Amino acid sequence: MQLSSRITNITQDGDDGWGVFNKSRKMIASGVDVLELSIGEHDIRTDPSILNAMHASAKAGNTGYAIVPGRIELRREIATRITERTGVATTAENIIVTPGGQSALFAAHLAVTNPGDKALYLDPYYATYPGTIRAVGAVDVAIPTRSKNAFQPSAEELAPFGAAATSLLVNSPNNPTGVVYSRETIEIISDFAKVNDLWLISDEVYDTQIWEGNHHPPRALPGMSERTLVVGSMSKSHAMTGSRVGWICGPAEVIGHLINLSTCTTYGVPGYIQDAALFALQRGPALEETVAAPFRRRRALAQGLLAGQNTVRLIPSSGAMYLMLDIRATGMTGEAFALALLEEEKIAVMPGESFGSAAAGHLRVAMTIEDSRFVQALQRLLDFAAKRIPS
- pLDDT (tens digit, 9 = 90+) per residue, 184-205? 999 999 999 999 999 999 999 9
Burial classification of residue 59, based on how many CB atoms lie within 10 Å of its CB (0-12 exposed, 13-18 middle, 19 or more buried): exposed
User: What's the chain's average pLDDT?
Assistant: 96
Q: What's the predicted TM-score (pTM) here? A: 0.96
What distance in Å separates the CA atoms of residue 11 and residue 9, rounded to the nearest whole number? 6
Q: What is the mean pLDDT of residues 221-225?
A: 98
Q: What size, in residues, is the chain?
A: 391
Mean pLDDT of 170-195: 98
Looking at the chain, the whole-number percentage of residues with pLDDT higher than 90 is: 95
Cα distance between residue 120 and residue 58, in whole Å: 41
Domain 5-45+286-385 has CATH 3.40.50.1970: no
Confidence band of 11 (pLDDT split at 50, 70, 90): confident
Per-residue CA distances from 75 to 39, 79, 113, 292 (Å): 29, 6, 25, 24
Nearest CA among 102, 86, 153 for reference residue 265: 102
Return the pLDDT at 151: 98
pLDDT digits (tens, 9 = 90+) for 260-303: 999 999 999 999 999 999 999 999 999 999 999 999 999 999 99
How far is residue 263's CA from residue 193's CA, in Å, rounded to a whole number?
30
- The CATH class of 62-284 is alpha beta
Which band of pLDDT confidence, cut at 50, 70 and 90, is reported for residue 390? confident
pLDDT of residue 18: 82
Pairing, β 139-144 against β 165-171: unpaired
Neighbours of 352 (CB within 10 A): 30
Where along the chain do its domains lie?
A: 5-45+286-385, 62-284
3-state helix, strand, coil split of the chain in percent (to 5) is 50, 15, 35
pLDDT computed for residue 12 by the predictor: 78
User: For residue 19, how many C-alpha atoms fall within 13 Å in the half-sphere facing its CB?
Assistant: 15
Give the SS3 label for residue 364: strand
What pLDDT band is residue 15 in, cutting at 50, 70 and 90? low
